[in-house]
Amino acid sequence: MSRRSSWYQPAITYEGVVTAEFGAPDQSISGPGIATFLDDGSQELSFQSEIDLSSRLGKLINGLTKCTALRVETHNGTLVSHDVNWARVEVLSKTVSFNFKSATFVPIETRKPRYFVVPLINYMGGYPDRLEQFKSNPLLLHPANAFCMPFELYGLSAFIQPLEYKLGASRRESIEKGNSRRDATAVIVCEHADIINNVSAFDVFQFGVLPVLGLATGTAIHVPWVEIRDHAGELVRREHVLWNGPDYQKGHRAIYESNGSLSELLRCAQGWNDFGKRDWALILRQTTQIGWTGVNSWEQMCQHACIVIDVLATQSGAKPKGVKYSDAMKSLLAKFQLHDFDVMGKYEEFDSLEGWSEAVRKLRNMVMHDAKQIDLLMDEAQMIRLIRHLHDIALRLVLCSFGYKGLYAPAVLGQLDLVRVDWVTDSTLPQEFGYPKPQIRKR
């Protein structure tokens, strides 16, 4: 089978007759136009209208009347959207512009689905294995001796390949240097199935795979579109989505690929009942955002960590009504045999605050309700150590919640090496969390 290395398009253009339908008044307008989608998530659609846009209808269309359907008829297929955000009229040029949340392109020629293709915006992970095992796949972008990140999705074979052959190539390097805030850097190729584990395939990627990759690499990852292609790599369908995520932020990289940890994390995550569901994705994205020190204050980092722990405690039943936050967190940690409370209960640094668990409770209440008073609670150095510890607790609890027991990079100041998620035992020392050498309480 020949390999079509030029199949990937960073800019997709649909040119033809555009028709826009409006629910009130029951009218439609049409004219020649172009829709353009870039793989950094940006989009543009405009066309020349055949009607007088200064008329009553034209004024109504200008953002006041919802567009119920938008269609672009091209020479090789049709782009359709029923989810239009807004329409804007430029009277002098008789041009109508549109922005929409989603759109679907279906080619004229019908083909049988064989692969998913999912471009990844701001994926900064590594590629531990060779593409050799996928050499018969028509969607390779590079020679078989190039690198990829293989994994399985509910038994379906999949891999992530970089869009550019060298890891220091222009797109990735531009993001890392701050010259670009978002761009496609990689693409997933996965065997096709209409429904994956009773969830739509699109949701499995958007609310399943992507949040896990984001948690592992420390940044939010999004998609500009999802394609379905046939056995020869020809397009079957393309689903466009509106970019609505944050720009690139370098966060805490929790999981590395070279030891097989990322593929193991993806495997474990698929066993979670809510994998591929929106609420589950929000928890993972909230956990990822804890480590965005470039945009978050310490108080905001603490808020994110406390929300994640709070949600997990509530979902697990560890926080029934009336139970204190610190008690709920202690119960949740005990469920996964994580001994942070045992370790910190033996030492004196937070005695002025009635102990570590009470310091956690008071800090949580302040950042959630009155962050301006934190400096009255503890000094900045104490606060930073405690927040980093809470970040690590939130991260471990998320990883444990879907059964991951492998290596990760702790978020606390005292740990530089990769360790197992269950590394905290009753013999762990507080300085391993980044606290100063403790004074042991006299019994």
pLDDT at 111 over 60: yes
pLDDT number for residue 4: 47
Length of the chain: 443
Given a contact cutoff of 8 angstroms between Cβ atoms, the answer to whether 18 and 71 are in contact is yes
Cβ neighbors of 370 (< 8 A, separation 6 or more) are none
Distance of CA 229 to the CA centre of its chain: 24
- Among the listed ranges 206-215, 239-248, 302-311, 379-388, which one has the minimum average pLDDT value? 239-248
Nearest to 286 by CA among 305, 302, 265, 272: 305
Place of tokens 């900064």: 124
Round the average pLDDT of the chain to a whole number and report it.
86
Residues 141-176 have pLDDT tens digits of 988 788 999 999 988 999 999 998 655 468 888 998
Reading the block at residue 230, the tokens are: 């046939």
Mean predicted confidence (pLDDT) in 409-425: 88
pLDDT at 261 over 80: yes
pLDDT number for residue 336: 93
pLDDT at 2 over 50: no
Asked whether the whole model's pTM tops 0.95, one would answer no
* Nearest-angstrom CA–CA distance, 214 and 99: 27
Residue 103: exposure state from Cβ atoms within 10 A (0-12, 13-18, ≥19)? buried
pLDDT number for residue 333: 93
pLDDT category of residue 3 using cuts at 50, 70 and 90: very low
* Nearest-angstrom CA–CA distance, 139 and 148: 13
Looking at per-residue pLDDT, the higher value among 44 and 77 belongs to 77
Residues 54-73 have pLDDT tens digits of 665 565 565 556 788 899 99
Looking at per-residue pLDDT, the higher value among 69 and 437 belongs to 69
* Nearest-angstrom CA–CA distance, 73 and 80: 9
Does an H or E element contain 305, and which? helix 298-316
pLDDT category of residue 53 using cuts at 50, 70 and 90: low
pLDDT number for residue 226: 93
